[in-house]
Structure 1
Amino acid sequence: MNLLHRFLRIGLTAVAVLIALIAIWYVWTYYERDPRTRNGHVRADVVGVTTDVSGIITSVEVSADQRVKKGDLLFQVDRARFTIAAERARANLESAEASLVYARQQASRNRALRGLVPEQTIDQSDSTLRTGTASVDQARAALASAELDLERSSVRASVNGVVSYAELRPGAYATAGQGMLALVDTDSLRVEGYFQETRLKHVHVGDRAEVLLMGEDKPFYGRVSSVTSAVNDSDTSIGSNHLPSIAPNFAWVRLAQRIPVRIKLDPQYISDALVPGRSATVLILGPDAAKQHGASPASEPRNERGPSLAQTCVARGRVCARERMLVLPSRRSGLSESRGNGRDAERRERQGVLAGVAAGSVVASL
C-alpha cells in the first residue's frame, strides 16, 4: 500500500512538472517566439478639406460617411464673382496685346527711319515696346490666376476616401484656408501595433502578421511594412538655455518603451470593418508564416487557423458543397472522405473525383 502511494505521489509530481513545463513553453512561445500585442489600432490618414478661395457655398454634393473617389466634387463656392474676374482679366490681356502690336509697329517704323527721326524718339519707342511686352506678360498671369480661382471654386476630393465630417449647408460662407470637411484616406488604411522594445528582435520588415479586431471573429492578415525609427523621450526636455533637461528617475523597475509597428493588410482584407480607431490584437507570425498557412509569401494564407495540406475538390458550378465534398490531400496518397448522405453517395462522389482527375476538367484547387 505504501509503495502504491509512493508511486502515486511520484506520478502526480511528474504530471505537475510536465504541466508546468508545458505552461512555461506556451508562455515563452506566446511572448517571445511569436510576439504579440493587444495594444493595436486601425489607422488611416485624415485629410482636411479647405477652400483656396472665399465665397458663399451654393451646393454641397456629399454627406457624412459617403464614399468618394479622387476628383469627385465635394461642394461648390459661388462661381459668379470668379467668372467675372476671369472675363475682366481676359479683356485686359486682349487690350495689352493690342497695345503691344501698336508699340511693335511704332518701334519698327522708327528704326527704319533712323537718321530721319531723333534718336530720342527711337529710344522712346523701344521703351514703349518693352513696357508693352511686360504688360502682356502681367495680363496673362492675371488671367491664369483668375482662371485658377474659378477652377478652385469647385472643391474636389484629393484622395479616395470616406467623408467623416460634413456639416456644410448651402448658403454658408467658406473662408479660404478654413477646414470645411474631413476625408479618411482609405488607400492609407493600416494597423499599428505598439510592441514592447524587448520583443522587437523578433519583428522584421516583411514578416507576416495576424490582426484580430475587437468584436470580430475572423482574423485579417498582412505584412510588417515598417518599424518606427524614433519615439519621444518623455524624460528629456529642452530648457530655456537650449540644453537638455533630464528628469530624475528613482524607479527600481524600468518599463519597456512601446514601439509602433505598422502592418499593411493584404488587399482582400480591406473592408468596411476597418474603421480607424478600432482596437486590434497584432500577432507577428514570422517570415515563413505564409508557407505554414498554405500560401505563397505574396498571397493570403489558405488556412487562416494554421498549417494544412493543399486541397482540391470537385467544383459544383462556382461553389464546392462542403457537406458533400471529397478532399484530395496533395501531400499524401489516398482519399479523405467528408461526411455525406451515405456510403453509396460517397462511392459515387469518389468515382466522380477519379473520373474528373483522369479527364482533368472537374477538379479545382481550393
Structure 2
Amino acid sequence: MKDSFLKLFPFAALQQAIARCSILLFALITACQPGPDRALGTLEWDRIALLAPAAEKIVAVHVREGERLDAGQVVLQLDDRNTRAQLAAAQAEVARLRASLEELENGPRSEEIARARASLAAARAEEKDARQNYQRLRQLGGEDFISQADIDRAKATADTASARVESDQAALLELQRGTRSEEIVQGEAALAQAEAQAEAQAVVLQKLTLQAPRGGLLDSLPFKLGDEAPVGGPLAIMLVGDTPYARVYIPEPLRPGIKVGDRAQVFIQGMAKPFGGRVRMIRSEPSFTPYFALTGDDVARLSYLAEIQLGVDAVDLPAGLPLRAEFAGEGHGSDAR
C-alpha cells in the first residue's frame, strides 16, 4: 500500500504544479485585457481631399508632403491651356449673342425699311408689266395668232410677279411692326445660357490652381508632377482641425452607459500622461469587433464606433497611434480632468 502511494505522489505534485501555472497564466492574460470601461482604437485627424476638377496634367507642385499649409495657399497647378481656350470660345459666343439681342431690341434700321419699300415697288412694276403682257397675249390667242402654250407661260409669269408683291409687302410690314417680344425673350435666354457656360468655364479655370481650402497638414500627394489624374481623383489629402480625435470601438456591454458629451481619458503607448476628451459621436449601428481589439471574451462581441475629441494638449500628436480610452460618464466613475 505504501509503495503504491509513493508511486502516485509524483503525479499529484505534477497536477498541483499545472494548476498553479494555469492560475498564473490566467492572471497574466486578464491583466493584458482591456477593462470593462475601456475601448481600443487609433488617433485620427479630420481629413479632406482636394479633387481634380478636370483631367489635366500636373505642371507644378508648390508644397511637400508633411508641410503645414495656410488657407488659400497654392498646392499645385494643373495645365490650363485647354480650359482657357474653351473659356475664350464661350466668351466670344456671349459677345455674339449679346450683339444679336441688342439688334432685336433696337428693331430694324430705317435703311432696311427703305430697301424693303424699294423692293416692293420693283415687284409691283414687274407684276404690272407681266399682267399687261398676259392680257395682250390672251387677246391674240382668241384670234389664233399665238399658241395656247405662250398664253399659259405669260399667265404663270404674271402670277409669279403677284406672289412676289405679296411677299415683299409682308416683309415690309414685318419691318415696320418691329421685333416680336417672343424673339427678344428667346435672345435673352440664349444669352443667359452662354453667360452661364462661360462662368462655369471660368470656375473650372480657377480650380485648376489647387488651393488649400483651410489650414492644416498636407498628409499626402497621391499624384506627382507630370501625372494626369482622372476627374474627381484626389490630388491632395489634408489633415485639418484644431485637435485630433480618438476613433475607438466601444464594446456592446459598455455602450448603454456612454452618450455623446461624456468625458473620457485617452492613453497612448509611450506617454505617461493621459489626454482628456469628450465623446463627439457614437454610431447607432453596431459592427463586429476589429482585429486589434480581439482579446478574450471581446472576440464574440459587437462594438460601436465612436469618436472622442481631444483637447489642445494633443495638437502635436500624429495620426495612426494606437490607444485605449477609459470613460468617465454617468455610471463610469468621476469626471476626467
Scaled to the shorter chain, the TM-score interval is: 0.5 to 0.7
Mapped pair 1:139 → 2:194: yes
Deviation at residue 159 of structure 1 after TM alignment: 4.2
> 1: distance between equivalents of 2:177 and 2:287?
70
- Conservation of the 8 A alpha-carbon contact between 2:107 and 2:179: no
Q: Which deviations, in whole Å up to 9, do the C-alpha atoms of 1:272-326 show, x marking residues without a partner?
A: 22x2221112111236999866xxxxxxx3xxxxxxxxxxxxxxxxxxxxxxxxx
CA contact (8 A) 1:44 1:276 kept: yes
Higher relative CO (Cα under 8 Å, sequence separation at least 6) belongs to 2
Contact 2:243 2:314 in 1 (8 A): no
**One-letter amino acid matched to 1:200:** R
CA distance in 1, matches of 2:298, 2:249: 20
In structure 2, the CA distance between the partners of 1:260 and 1:125, relative to structure 1 (3 Å rule), is closer
Q: Does 1:270 align with 2:314?
A: yes
* Residue 255 of structure 1, CA deviation: 2.9
Return the TM-score normalized by structure 2.
0.60
- Shift of the alpha carbon at 1:44? 3.0
Q: Does 1:205 align with 2:251?
A: no
DSSP 3-state at the match of 1:173: coil
The 1:46/1:164 distance shift into structure 2, 3 A limit, reads same
Please show how residues 303-322 of structure 1 align to structure 2 within 5 Å: none
Q: Of residues 258, 261, 283 in structure 1, which corresponds to 2:303?
A: 258
Hey, what does 1:102 align to over in structure 2? 103
Matched residue, 2:82: 81
In the alignment, which residue of structure 2 is the partner of 1:281?
324
Matches within 5 A, 1:40-79: 40-79=41-80
Which of residues 283, 291, 298 is equivalent to 1:228? 283
Deviation at 1:117, TM superposition (A): 4.9
Separation in 2, partners of 1:60, 1:187? 26
The answer for unaligned runs of 5 or more in structure 2 is: 1-26, 113-169, 290-296
Deviation of 1:76 after TM superposition, in Å, equals 0.7
Question: What is the distance in 1 between the residues matched to 2:87 and 2:201?
Answer: 5
Overall identity of the aligned pairs, in %: 21
In structure 1, runs of 5+ residues without a counterpart are: 1-22, 235-251, 294-300, 302-366
Aligned residues: 242
Q: How does 1:183-202 map to 2 (within 5 A)?
A: 183-187=238-242, 189-202=244-257
Cα distance in structure 2, aligned partners of 1:175 and 1:292: 50
Deviations 1:150-209 (A, max 9, x none): 111111223433222225443333432222222223357311222221123432332221
CA RMSD of aligned residues (A): 3.8
Residue-by-residue CA offset, 1:28-82 (whole Å, 9 max, x unaligned): xx945xx123x22112333332211222222111211112234322111123332
Corresponding residue SS for 1:177: coil
1:173 aligns with 2:173: no
**Aligned mate of 2:38, from 36, 39, 42:** 36
